[in-house]
Structure 1
Amino acid sequence: MMTRSLNITYFTALIVTLGSLAIISGAWFIELGLGIKPCHLCLIGRLPHYFGIPVAAVAVILARSGTQLRLARTLLVLAAAIFLVGTGISVYHAGVEFGVFQGPTDCTGTLSQPESVNDFLKQLDTVKIVRCDEVAMRIFGLSLAAWNAIICFGLTFIASLGAQGRR
């Protein structure tokens, strides 16, 4: 039988794992299913999910077993820190989209030195830069970066609650 603190730790770790999996699955669906290519900052914004999912998943397993509850809570602290970094990345990205911050140079693209005007025109046809300062998709008026910031902050909060082991 699960104790109350085990129950909270287990369920918060499960929520964090599934929530992050849902976000990264949605990002892949938007990219591969809808054909909307991510910018450089979008790809960086996915990294906390790639790191946070396995950390939270191990916390789920440990909390469920009941024998490693302290380690499960420590992993939830790590997950909270990872998603707090994700919040910062996404706030920066949303700020770039809204013109508050200057975006990285990766989002502007570079062309090699063309030999002729025809070479230059061919390069323009083949180089496709996804700009970080343009919103590719909005949901309820917010960009995906803004939603990722909100969700990462929520995952940080939930993981922090689970790390405490109480309501």
Structure 2
Amino acid sequence: MTRRFLILVAASGSAALLLGALGFQYIGGLPPCDLCIWQRWPHLAAVIIGGTALALPGRLLPLLGALAALTTSGVGLFHTGVERGWWEGPTTCTSGAVSGLTPEQLMEQIMAAPLVRCDEVAWELLGLSMASWNALAALALALVWLAAARAER
């Protein structure tokens, strides 16, 4: 397989996983926790790297794509461990700065915000959560990125 084809597969795979996550959020009504969002950033990086790697020769960009895929896979594995109670996750999942709000506005904002916990599985298929599926898919994409780096020879 050609380098170009492998890069397209890897970058498109990350784009599909990212779009799937956004679909679950905006169409399926499943708001993400912090760990879910952390898994999205490397996919976005892989898409950008893929677009750049199509235009530039060399192994560096496919290797960076593999690193991005391995990063999101690692976060997904960590998130899976949090969901299964193997270890603790972050102490807070979502919070932001609070300033310039009256106590009533703050309470209204708190009551309107969905409670999203990193240690609860929001959706699963065949016994695996979204985080687990992301980890496995991203690991496969990392292998595609590595094949693209080897195809440079």
TM-score w.r.t. length of structure 1: 0.78
- Does structure 2 conserve the Cα–Cα contact (< 8 Å) formed by 1:95 and 1:101? yes
Superposed CA RMSD? 2.6
Structure 1 residues 23, 108: CA separation in 2 closer, same or farther (over 3 Å shift)? closer
Q: Determine helix, strand or coil for the equivalent of 1:105.
A: coil
Which has the greater radius of gyration? 1
- Report the counterpart of residue 16 of structure 2 in structure 1: 22
Q: Which has the higher helix share?
A: 1
Return closer, same or farther for 1:104/1:61 CA change in 2, 3 Å cut-off.
Answer: same
Distance 1:28 1:138 in 2: 16
Name the SS of the counterpart of 1:107 in structure 2: coil
User: Aligned match of 2:49 in 55, 61, 69?
Assistant: 55
Q: Does the CA-based 8 Å contact 2:35-2:118 persist in structure 1?
A: yes
Kindly report structure 1 stretches of 4+ aligned residues shifted beyond 2 Å: 107-110, 121-129
Letter in 2 for 1:46: R
Q: CA separation in 1, counterparts of 2:62 and 2:108?
A: 51
Cα distance in 1 for residues equivalent to 2:109 and 2:45 = 36
Q: CA deviation at 1:11?
A: 1.0
Tell me if 1:40 matches 2:34. Answer: yes
Q: What is the percent sequence identity of the aligned residues?
A: 35
Q: Determine which of 88, 93, 99 is the counterpart of 2:79.
A: 93
Unaligned regions of 5+ residues in structure 1, if any?
Answer: 1-6, 63-67, 113-120
Q: CA deviation at 1:45?
A: 0.8
The aligned length equals: 147
Cα pair 2:46 2:68 within 8 Å, conserved: yes
Q: Taking structure 2 as the reference length, what is the TM-score of the superposition?
A: 0.85
